[in-house]
Amino acid sequence: METIPVQNFNLVIFGATGDLTRRKLLPALYLRDLAGQMPGDASIIGVARTDLGQDGFRQQAKEAIETFVDETHRDPERLAAFLNRLDYMSLDANAEDGWPDLAERLDHAQKTVCVFYLAVGPQFFGPICQRLKSVDLSGELCRLVVEKPLGRDLESATALNAEIAAVFDESRVYRIDHYLGKETVQNLLALRFANSMFEPLWNAAHIDHVQITVAETVGLEGRGSYYDAFGAMRDMVQNHLLQLLCLVAMEPPARIDADSVRDEKLKVLRSLRPIEPSEIASKTVRGRYEAGAVDASTVPSYKDEPGVPEDSKTETFVALKVEIDNWRWAGVPFYLRTGKRLPAKISEIVIHFHAIPHSIFAGNAGELVKNRLVVRLQPDEGIRMHLMTKDPGPGGLRLREASLNLSFADAFDERFPDAYERLLMDVVRGNPTLFMRRDEVEAAWKWSQSILTTWEENADQPKPYIAGTWGPSSAIALIERDGRTWHE
């Protein structure tokens, strides 16, 4: 795999002592340095309120890399060199003190790319942007990366975007969704637009329906109070699942560049048919896990998790039937589901093609199964095409399903960069193609808002499901009443 070095840069991580920095950002940056992608003068400055100091931050980074980077990719000399890139500042986002010191450390900000990564809560986005502006750290070479949650409804998302836009031009704002940095997600674009065999079939005339599943075995992982304020709809559907839907459903862009791709995704979001209050019961399912067993371990119910209030009405599972009102997808339902404490950790997109119009085979030849294209994001990234074929051997023509399997691990004998590795370097390059634009975020919230509002007005409790199962029985009914079934 060819590694192309990026230009010199400074990366400032606000929230440097947080879980995201420890689990994802520091390991990703180390691996990019190990791959030779970071120039010698590139620097990383951690910023947080904790009085940690440079040595403390470097020790934290060392422990994070030893914990979250595979042993085969740890090189003591390269790790020591990476740690020497790290600096640290104690800084309060809501205080005036310390910001001139940050500007002094970045005194060449007008000549070098400066990336400000806000790995903090959204309530700090506006104050940090204003402080950066006050010390002249918002110029043309300064870029801002923000993590979800990007609001909890349309109104708050719009206000958040306005706060950011008051300081940073949209072209320098990178709203990160790590799902868009996954190798398989980008391969979905290659599959559709670099192969002549798929695009003619990518429409309602040939596709029966589409399923998108993002399943997790984990629970709240100590984030009970945070998660209870959002739930599965806000935490997963409004961003990750709708972004995957857009990549499946969008029209071919004129070219693979930031605005062309995001223009087509926006058209999909604006074409989503609103789910009316009268349709909520038949097209949406909210669930919440009860005590059960996951991976042979007994786990508590959601309401017994630390930080979850007794009167919580938050969902941990969502299933939706989504329809797109345009020529390509008229009559093709998209079934989305996501949840915590499910039987397996799986993220995949399954394209179900129509059945053949007429079978020429005898009744004893075997069941004719519809063709399916499975795009697996995790685990075991790859693409699998399920086809009908003849069962080998004499004694008549018997049919069975077989698969053409493109497993990335088997096909490519190399390590693929993690999503954060790719996306961080894209920010340095100034390539926003895989990041969400402001109008995309607000369009996704606008569609989601009507569902959330109806749920809140109905005040119904989420349907219970046992941890370690595939959600409430009503999620099965959601798809089976249409004569279809979930892909397992």
Q: Which positions are annotated as active-site residues?
A: 240
Long-range CB contacts for residues 291-300, cutoff 8 Å, separation at least 24: 291/466, 291/467, 292/341, 292/466, 292/467, 292/468, 292/469, 293/467, 293/468, 294/217, 294/341, 294/342, 294/343, 294/467, 294/468, 295/217, 299/219, 299/341, 299/467, 299/468, 300/219
**Backbone dihedral angles phi then psi of residue 337, each to the nearest 5 degrees:** -150, 145
Instruction: At 369, list the tokens.
Output: 């199964």
DSSP letter string, 390-425: EPSSSSS--EEEEEEEEEHHHH--SPPPPHHHHHHH
Residues comprising the chain, all counted: 488
CA trace torsion 273, 276, 280, 284 (10° rounding)? 10
Coil, strand or helix at 256: coil
- Name the β-bridge partners of 298: 293
Instruction: For residues 251 and 241, give the distance between their C-alpha atoms in angstroms, rounded to a whole number.
Output: 18
> CA 222 to CA 18: how far, in whole Å?
13
322 strand-pairing partners: 334
Angle at 381 between CA 377 and CA 383, to 5 degrees: 90
CA 112/CA 108 separation, integer angstroms: 6
- Degrees, nearest 5: CA angle 308-313-316: 75
Give the alpha-carbon dihedral of 111, 117, 121, 123, to 10 degrees. 20
3-state secondary structure of 456: helix
- Nearest CA-CA partner of 65 in 26, 19, 17: 26
